[in-house]
Amino acid sequence: MEKVTIDGVELHLTQPDNVPMVWVGQQELVSQVLAAWLVIGDDDIPLNPRLVGKPGVGKTTLAYHSGRVLGRPVYIYQATMDTRPEDLIVTPVISDAGKIKYMASPIVSAMIRGGIALIDEGNRMSEKSWASLAPLMDNRRYVESIVAGIKIKAHSDFRLCTTMNDDASTFELPEYIHSRLQPQIFIDFPERDEELLILKTNLPFAEEEILEYVVDFLQDAHEMEERYSVRDGINIARYALKRLVEKGERLTSEERKTKVVDYMKEAASMILDQNAARYFSESLDADGHEDDDEEE
């Protein structure tokens, strides 16, 4: 574990996140994030974009991918309603020798190393927690640790981003924080071709026909303004295929198709709700009827 000393206080830094997140499609959104982070003069400072959208549309993936495009280490901090100011900056822990060891948060580790700090689901944090980061998000570019008694300045390459879910189980941001988290970049559900590409990327072991079924399900749900996301579709397909393999039955291609449909309806009910299965029923039955009509 890397250590740095600031004003005589030794800080232990956390490691950056290395996760298999791949952003597919909507390259304009990547450009918007990168533009927010750009510095165009000596007196300029980077902005702190806020990625907003329904759960599962890819906000975290977009932020992580954008950081990796810059070639910087990315540190993800998962915010919760219980997040305290010290959790965001420096936390004291007892070492094996019985001494106090100061652990830098992922945000502070990114500040020191010149990386990207991603605060995931930031509007689950209280105003008190956000207030501790206020100096970091303006021209001051520093945080103060009351616990360690030090002021920590951000590296010139440090960038900050936060994701926020568009739902009711969140805090309302105070205006002075709201104005520091700009621009607001809204992420909506992908178009059909992009959604299919996302599924192919995440489910390379699934047949094309199965992926088409899932896309039909998602597109029908989007039209009805359901909150079902491509992440839900991935989980549905993944569970349905696991059910098929777990059964270990020898099936013809037609029998396999029927079983997959049944398992997808089951998965939709279990992963989402009972209402979700009907979107599979409508799209798949419609396809089946069309095939029957053509045979007649």
Task: Quick: pLDDT tens for 155-183.
Answer: 999 999 999 987 665 678 889 999 999 99
At 67, the amino acid letter reads G
The mean-pLDDT minimum among 177-181, 254-258, 288-292 falls in: 288-292
pLDDT band of residue 294 (cuts 50, 70, 90) is very low
**CA–CA separation, 272 vs 266, rounded Å?**
10
| 34 pLDDT above the threshold of 90 | yes
Sheet architecture: strand order including 9-12: 3-6, 9-12, 100-104, 90-94
**CA–CA separation, 154 vs 55, rounded Å?**
30
pLDDT of residue 30: 95
State pTM to two decimals: 0.83
pLDDT of residue 282: 54
pLDDT of residue 206: 85
**CA–CA separation, 50 vs 122, rounded Å?**
9
pLDDT band of residue 278 (cuts 50, 70, 90) is confident
Residues in the chain: 296
